[in-house]
Amino acid sequence: MPSYLGPTLPQMIHLFFLIVVNSLTLFMVSVTFLRTVWGLGGNVTTIESWEIERHAKLLRRARALGGYLDGPDGIRIRITKQEFPYDIGIWNNIVQGMGGTSNVIAWLWPFSATPKTSGVDFETNGFEDPGTSWPPPDPDRMPRLARPLDPKDAFVHRHGDLSPDDEVLAFRKRQMADFERRAEHYGGGVVVKRRKPFHERFEEENGTPIENDYYSENDDDGDDDKGSAGSGEEGWQDSGGNRLKDYGVDEEVEFYDEDNIPIAELLRRRRRQGKVITSP
């Protein structure tokens, strides 16, 4: 055939775009059709397939945690394997999804009668006990228990009639009770250590640092000395009587680092230590 009888260049371009668009459309329609046939054969909708996958993940988590998962308000929920209750067989699934009739011609006939099914009750396979709910319980989706809340009583501790000093004492009692409840977290026992003042951390004779420069509030000895530890930088308190540890600061951290001490002072201390060691 001569070229002048064939399609023109604009027609060729138009034909190319039609092939591309039709191919993409056919591909997407085919994927949708296959997905629908698969769901119809398994009697599973898209949302129900998500529920099945979610249940499988919960089973894997529960298997690693002894069969239980934590729910809201500290509730322990046992997770057991459940079968999808509405899978009654491939053919029965297709019949149920196509209106309850096994007549294939009626499936494709647009003027078929309205199905007699209610769309509310569905046949189950009987694998699970009667009354078993689907989807299975999911601890991550359970709501918390409703708790009555009175906006007029928003505070836990009622001490509005206490003086400022009594409020500080009440706070310290609650703090010590919290320490006792969490004794294991704080090392098996509540031992509050307070550091001695700076001038009491060195020997008076040679100026060498002492080995233990902390007071122990659990000891009965040295109560008079503890009063001096409550003043200065080491015993800092705000107007409410709160210490550094009340704000999450470790009181055992060195207040005076050797990096901030002059080199001459460090050399002088080392000479004194050397004299003490070498002296008979």
In which element (H, E) is residue 215 found?
strand 214-216
At 28 the pLDDT is 97
pLDDT at 121 over 70: yes
At 227 the pLDDT is 45
Q: Please, what's the largest Cα pairwise distance for the chain?
A: 123
Give CA–CA dist 97/41, Å, rounded. Answer: 9
Give CA–CA dist 189/218, Å, rounded. Answer: 11
pLDDT at 226 over 50: no
Q: Residue 259: pLDDT band by 50, 70, 90 thresholds?
A: low
Higher local confidence (pLDDT), 263 or 125: 125
Q: What's the rounded mean pLDDT across residues 211-219?
A: 58
pLDDT at 202 over 90: no
Q: What is the pLDDT of residues 20-46, one digit of tens each?
A: 999 999 999 999 999 999 999 988 988
At 243 the pLDDT is 67
Q: Residue 14: pLDDT band by 50, 70, 90 thresholds?
A: very high
**Cα-based distances in Å from 199 to 19, 123, 221, 256:** 93, 87, 20, 12
pTM of the model: 0.46
Give CA–CA dist 224/194, Å, rounded. Answer: 14
Q: Residue 222: pLDDT band by 50, 70, 90 thresholds?
A: very low
Residues in contact with 117: Cβ distance below 8 Å, sequence separation at least 6, in sequence order: 96, 99, 100
Give CA–CA dist 198/254, Å, rounded. Answer: 11
Q: What is the pLDDT of residues 141-150, one digit of tens each?
A: 887 777 777 6
Q: Which residue carries 């299975």 as its tokens?
A: 136
